Amino acid sequence: MMSRTLLLLPVTTMFMGLVCCQGQQTRRQSQTAEAGSSAQEILNRIAEVESRLTSPVMIEGAEQVFHSLAEQMEAYKVPGVSVAVINNGKIEWAKGYGVREAGTDSPIDANTLFQAASISKSVSALGALHWVQKGALELDTDINDFLVSWRIPDNEFTKLRPVTLRYLLSHGAGVSGHSLGTYYRGEEIPTVLQILDGMPPSKADPVRVVAEPQTEFKYSGGGYLVVLQAMTDVTGQPFPDIMSEAVLRPAGMERSNYFQSLEHDSAENVAAGHGGMGSVVEGYWQIMPNPAGGGLWTTPSELCLFAVEVQKALRGESAIISRQIAEEMITGHIGDYGLGLILQGEGEDLAFSHGGDNAGYGSFFFAYARRGQGVAVMTNAQNGHYLYNEILRSVGIVYDWPDLKPSVIEPIQLPVETLNRYTGRYLWNNALGAEITIDNDHLRMEGDDGRIFLLYADSDNHFYDLYSGWELKFIFDEENEVTGAFLVIGGETVIRGEKTDN
């Protein structure tokens, strides 16, 4: 069995340590919705969520290993986390754990603000769609028709198809700028127009159309900056004011805003960001010069209010957007991406979600479009995505949401001679060494720092790590000799390892 301290950390760091970090009761332990459940039933569910954190993969017939939230906060070096759950169309409970800053006793509670990172795009999209509802913007008209202070320069790609709001919001506009850079306190912050044209002090290249619009998914923070500029041009207001008026206040998101300036003190109740080793990032957090794409500060409770607002809009009960526009929001326009939302499932099981990871923060929300259920988790740590994924799975188990439950695999038994082909030493990313050996009926990979993977096969050359859900696919040369392997996370190849002892 894998040591509890040898759990999921990025393979690019491959090490683990321990910090003292305990889950704490919040000042507002829970916020109970007027639903069918009794207060005791809700408290029981909270306790169960706190105790059923687990990996994304289960072996058919094997006993599943669970951990407590406190254990995993310690293992992943996450000082603080906040959780809110929607049930029966309302926030059933919200609770904070740990501290806002490592080494202090300042508790996380349900009102603590976190940097939402790319989740900002989902909320920004709802703001843009509000102005579509008002007639100030249009989904399928050339966005240059609404831009005044700046325009997308024409090139060979814009001659083929126009850049429209629909495809800017769904990352299908062919616009550059996956990320537009972050800034430390004291650095000069560029204006929106400086970023759009790549002018100092901007750290990014100019935002331009670099692929044919409306044809392929190309994640673009730059596209959301164009949306921001269009919204400010048609309204004549600063972006934070636009969003407060259009979305945040109508949805009841009173704590949330697209702040560019916050103070880290007890009065503000803001969580500081922490790096992978658990130390506070320089300046407590970095500044996002693209508010629409990454500048929202909010809480899990208020992300749940956003999700509830979308659910209400789909029932025709929202003052922000109509049911018709809400249906556009949850329609896949480029692959599984709607208007500001990642989509999965269909019919009554259709769900929308988005994650966000900035330096020092990791967060995620998930909600069913038509079932009145959802969850939001926010952390103040670089390793937060490992923790929030385990919390999401725990919520899925406790509330019986199939989309968040661990997947079940039926590993196959490979002959020892087949397993022997994969054993040996591997060098990952030209830097990180690991040894693969046989462990009974499966493979075991141990990094030079002690990081351990237990690898179970579902085909001759494809293996799952039981605890992370990561996949390992081996590489062969023309003579059918093993030369290396690909590490696959979330369906995407992220790193290659070379076998060094052929």
Q: Rounded to an integer, what distance in angstroms lies between the CA atom of residue 355 and that of residue 185?
A: 25
Q: Which domain CATH number covers 478?
A: 2.40.128.50
For 197-256, the pLDDT digits (tens) are 999 999 999 999 999 999 999 999 999 999 999 999 999 999 999 999 999 999 999 999
Last residue of a domain, one of 378, 404, 430: 404
Question: Residues 399, 421: one domain?
Answer: no
In this model, does residue 317 exceed pLDDT 80?
Answer: yes
Predicted confidence band at 490 (pLDDT cuts at 50, 70, 90)?
low
Q: Rounded to an integer, what distance in angstroms lies between the CA atom of residue 167 and that of residue 173?
A: 5
Listed in order, strand segments (DSSP E) in 239-331 are 297-298
Q: Residue type at 453?
A: F
Q: Rounded to an integer, what distance in angstroms lies between the CA atom of residue 402 and that of residue 461?
A: 28
DSSP, residue by residue, 130-166: HHHHTTSS-SSSBGGGT-SS--PPP-TTTTTS--BHH
Last residue of a domain, one of 343, 377, 404: 404
Q: Is residue 476 part of a domain?
A: yes
Question: Residues 324, 227: one domain?
Answer: yes
Cis peptide before 213 (omega within 30 of 0): no
Q: Which domain CATH number covers 136?
A: 3.40.710.10
For 247-283, the pLDDT digits (tens) are 999 999 999 999 877 877 766 899 999 998 899 999 9
Give burial (CB, 10 Å; 0-12/13-18/19+) of 167.
buried
Question: Residues 188, 314: one domain?
Answer: yes
Helices 300-314 and 120-133 cross at an angle (nearest 10°) of: 40
Count other Cβ atoms within 10 Å, centred on residue 102. 21
Q: Rounded to an integer, what distance in angstroms lies between the CA atom of residue 98 and that of residue 72?
A: 12
Domain that holds residue 420: 416-499
Q: Is residue 93 part of a domain?
A: no
Nearest residue to 387 (alpha-carbon basis) of 35, 62, 51, 69: 69
Nearest residue to 429 (alpha-carbon basis) of 358, 362, 493, 359: 493
Token duo for residue 482? 């093993």
For 64-79, the pLDDT digits (tens) are 889 999 999 998 999 9
Question: Residues 398, 420: one domain?
Answer: no
φ, ψ at 169 (rounded to 5°)? -75, -25
Question: Residues 396, 423: one domain?
Answer: no
For 79-119, the pLDDT digits (tens) are 999 999 999 999 999 999 999 999 999 999 999 999 999 99
- Could you tell me the pTM of the whole model? 0.85
Question: Residues 373, 435: one domain?
Answer: no
Question: Residues 153, 248: one domain?
Answer: yes
Total domain count for the chain? 2
Q: Is residue 109 part of a domain?
A: no
Last residue of a domain, one of 380, 404, 428: 404
Nearest residue to 253 (alpha-carbon basis) of 303, 308, 294, 296: 303
In this model, does residue 363 exceed pLDDT 60?
Answer: yes
Token duo for residue 293? 């794409």
Q: Rounded to an integer, what distance in angstroms lies between the CA atom of residue 367 and that of residue 338?
A: 14
Q: What confidence score (pLDDT) does residue 149 get?
A: 96
Q: Is residue 128 part of a domain?
A: yes
Q: Are 406 and 60 in contact (CB under 8 A)?
A: no
Question: Residues 361, 443: one domain?
Answer: no
